[in-house]
Every structure is written in structure tokens, then in C-alpha cells.
Amino acid sequence: MRRSISSLVVVSAFASSVLAFSQVASSPTDAGLNASAESSPAAFVYVSTQKGSDYEISAYSVSSSGQLTPVSGSPFAANANYMALNGKYLFGSNGVDIYSFSIASDGALTQVASLNAQNYNQNGCGGPENLFVDRTGTTLYDPDYLGNICANNAYQVFSIGSATGALDYLGAAVASPAFNSPLSFIGNNLFGYSSDCYRSMPGIYGYARATDGTLTEINGEPTAVPAAPSGNYYCPYLSAADSANHLAIPLMPMSESTLQPSGALQIAVYSADSSGNLTTASTSANMPKSAVSSVTDIRISPSGKLLAVAGMSGVQVFHFNGASPVTRFTGLLATGQVDHIFWDNANHLYAISTSAGKLMVFTVSATGATPTSGSPYTIASPQNIAVLAK
């Protein structure tokens, strides 16, 4: 039930840091973005970028065809790397503080509140390692690095003031050195899950969400990881939930003797019951293989029919079929390291590469996925991405 930092480092050693985009010839900079925005954008895209020892947030309006236009006033001064949003507010953290920004009708950001999340850590060390919200957007969470005794991680819980955007600390869930990735909440918003392979110990873990947003670890039977081919074991990392009760969980085959990756990443599917317990019919034989190498991010589209997987070797899209096995849809849409991905409601998939300094936009149709006009965009040192779908 854990994330394996060591296994990610091992896999990344095999990956190229050079990003090459298939079917793309142009590579315009921010100055080459569209000069005017549509009156009804399909989405607003926010990308945190590093600027010296600080950060700022670049904001873009997205046309129905997937082209980007800078929001007036962008980039916005914001000491924020990690981001999450709920439609009304965007939240950003520098690893210590969490800032709340109101989102104007044109996508512009204005800081309205801040909170030192590290102050709620038992010993004043560590801090937010990421940010995520529940399905209703009423609760903000962070995996609190070194969340107790300066050794373990925990999930901090904050209620969001609907009128002000201010955060109210509600407490922290069970601490463990493994719990440092975002939870993905299934459709009923009652259960959230992630997975990890801390110190080569595979684990899939879940939390029950109370009405006030607080979390309690599910204490059912340990969730089984499918058996790997002889001489190997599977290391899970991250999860993505659909709007029903299904999860996609990436599994990396690892050699039992060398503890090194021994094959292509595969995608397992799990179903949650009414108590939050997970079951799977996934096997090494029926799980599709991905070409992305070590996974960095995974997202299910709003329709629940597509699954995007990003990794050290690119980004790829699969058909997501509920409790049935995932099936292959596209090859690699881009090659090289892709760090974060996001969907909107208009069939656009967004992806950023920190090492290459690129923001990519793809239109995904029934026949495949193609880069939108102008993609990829050159953005200096992109760190994280959040998309407000309209």
C-alpha cells in the first residue's frame, strides 16, 4: 500500500530527457499564442513555472479547437508550485504555505488567503508535497511530507470557505512514510485511493471520507496486487478513478533478484464495493502494456471512457472499460519525459514536460489523438498544471 521512491529513481535512469513530438513541426513560444480569446472558452489552463528561487502561474484561455491565449495579467505572481482547483478558487503551495486565489470570469487570479500548513505539522518540519480536492471541491488535501515526528507522511485536511477561499485545518489522517501521492476519489466521493511500492513493498491503500471531509484509513483485507510472471513482482504507483466505482492502477514489473524494472508498465483495473474494499480480475495476461516506462501521472477523462498515462518515455491514451480490462487506443503521443497531464470537458488532453520546457495540447477523437494548432508551446520550467473545464 505504498509509493516507491526508490523504484522511480531506478526506472528514470533508463529514460531520455529529450522530448520529441510526433506529428508536430512548430514550437511557438508564449509570444506566439493566439492574440484573442473566444467569448466562451472551453477551459482555463494554469501552469506553475519556476522563476529563480520562486514560482509564478501562467494562465491561458482555451478555444473550442484547443488553441491557447494568455489571460490578461498572466503570469501571476504566486509562490506556488503544486496546484489544485475547485472551479471558484485555485490553491497553490510552495511546500510550506498554501495560497488561495479567486478565479475571475476571464480566468485571472487574485490571491485572497494564505495559510502556513507546516504549522500544523507536529514538529514543524516537512510540509505539503502536493495538493488535491474531493469531487465536490469543498475539501482540500495535501500529502504532508514528514507529517509526524519528522519521519512519516500524513494527509492534511482543510475545509474551503466558499465565500472567502480561506482554509480551515481539520486534522491529519494516519501517518506513514509511504503516503505521499494524491488520492483519487470514486464517484460517490466516499472513498479515495492511491498506490505505492515503498521500499519494494507493493501496496494499494484507501481512505473513507466523512461528511466533513476528514479521512479514515480503510481497515479491510489488504488489496491484492496481481501475480507477476515468475521471478518478478508488480510495483503499483498512483491511481485514477472514474465517476462510478472503478480504478486504474499502473503496475511496473520488477525483478525479484535485482529489484530493477523487468518489463513494460501494465494497467490494472479495480472495483470498489459499498465498504470501499477493492477487487480485481486483472492478471499479467489481460493487462495491457504501456510504452511510457515509469509512470508520472494518470488521469481518466470526464466521460470515463479514456485513460491517459504519462511517464518517463511519453504520454499514451487507452480505452477505459469500467471493470473490464483497459484496451490500447493510441501509441505514444509524445516521446521523452512527460510529468503531468490533465483533461478538460472538450476532448482536450494537456501535458507538460519540465525537462523540455513544453506544454502540449491534444484533441482526442474517436479515431485517435492529434496535436492542436500551435502545440507544443514553449514554457520556461513548467512544474505543475491545473485545468478549469467549462
Specify the amino acid at residue 274: S
Q: What percent of the chain has pLDDT over 70?
A: 90
pLDDT for 121 equals: 86
> Is residue 267 within 8 Å of residue 251, measured between CB atoms?
yes
116-128 as b/e: b if 16+ CB within 10 A: ebbebbbeeebbb
pLDDT for 11 equals: 36
Higher local confidence (pLDDT), 125 or 377 = 377
Report the chain's mean pLDDT, rounded to a whole number: 90
pLDDT for 49 equals: 96
pLDDT for 35 equals: 39
pLDDT for 1 equals: 35
Instruction: Report how far residue 36's alpha carbon sits from residue 104's, in angstroms, rounded to the nearest whole number.
Output: 17
pLDDT band at 123 (very low <50, low <70, confident <90, very high): confident
For residue 5, pLDDT over 90 is answered with no
* Of residues 191, 153, 189, the one with CA closest to residue 172: 153
Which residue do the cell numbers 472503478 mark? 246
Tabulate helix, strand, coil % of the chain (nearest 5). 5, 50, 45
Chain segment 289-327, per-residue pLDDT in tens: 999 999 999 999 999 999 999 999 999 999 999 999 999
Which residues sit opposite 233 in a β-bridge?
254
Which residues sit opposite 290 in a β-bridge?
265
Locate the DSSP E strands across 52-128. Answer: 54-62, 68-70, 76-77, 82-85, 89-93, 97-103, 109-116, 127-128
> Is residue 62 within 8 Å of residue 44, measured between CB atoms?
yes
DSSP 226: P
pTM of the model: 0.90
Selected from 2.130.10.10, 3.40.50.1390, 3.30.160.100, 3.40.630.30, the CATH number assigned to the domain covering 5-389 reads: 2.130.10.10
Chain segment 236-286, per-residue pLDDT in tens: 999 999 999 999 999 999 999 999 999 999 999 999 999 999 999 999 999
Chain segment 181-233, per-residue pLDDT in tens: 999 999 999 999 999 999 889 999 999 999 999 999 998 778 999 999 999 99
DSSP 108: -
Give the DSSP per-residue string, 266-297: EEEEEEE-TTS-EE----TTTSPEESS-SEEE
For residue 83, pLDDT over 80 is answered with yes
Chain segment 312-366, per-residue pLDDT in tens: 999 999 999 999 999 999 999 999 999 999 999 999 999 999 999 999 999 999 9
Which of 25-34, 150-159, 214-223, 268-277 is predicted least confidently?
Answer: 25-34
* Of residues 94, 88, 129, the one with CA closest to residue 109: 88
For residue 32, pLDDT over 80 is answered with no
pLDDT for 357 equals: 97
pLDDT for 217 equals: 94
Q: Which residues contact 150 (CB under 8 A, 6 or more apart)?
A: 123, 125, 126
pLDDT for 220 equals: 77
- How many C-beta atoms surround the C-beta of residue 363 within 10 A? 17
* Residue spans per domain, the chain: 5-389
Chain segment 98-121, per-residue pLDDT in tens: 999 999 999 999 999 999 999 998
* Of residues 355, 349, 354, the one with CA closest to residue 333: 349
pLDDT band at 27 (very low <50, low <70, confident <90, very high): very low
What's the mean pLDDT in 154-174?
96
pLDDT for 149 equals: 82
pLDDT for 20 equals: 41
pLDDT for 34 equals: 46
pLDDT for 4 equals: 33
Grid coordinates given for 113: 488567503
pLDDT for 52 equals: 86
What's the mean pLDDT in 163-171?
97
pLDDT for 194 equals: 96
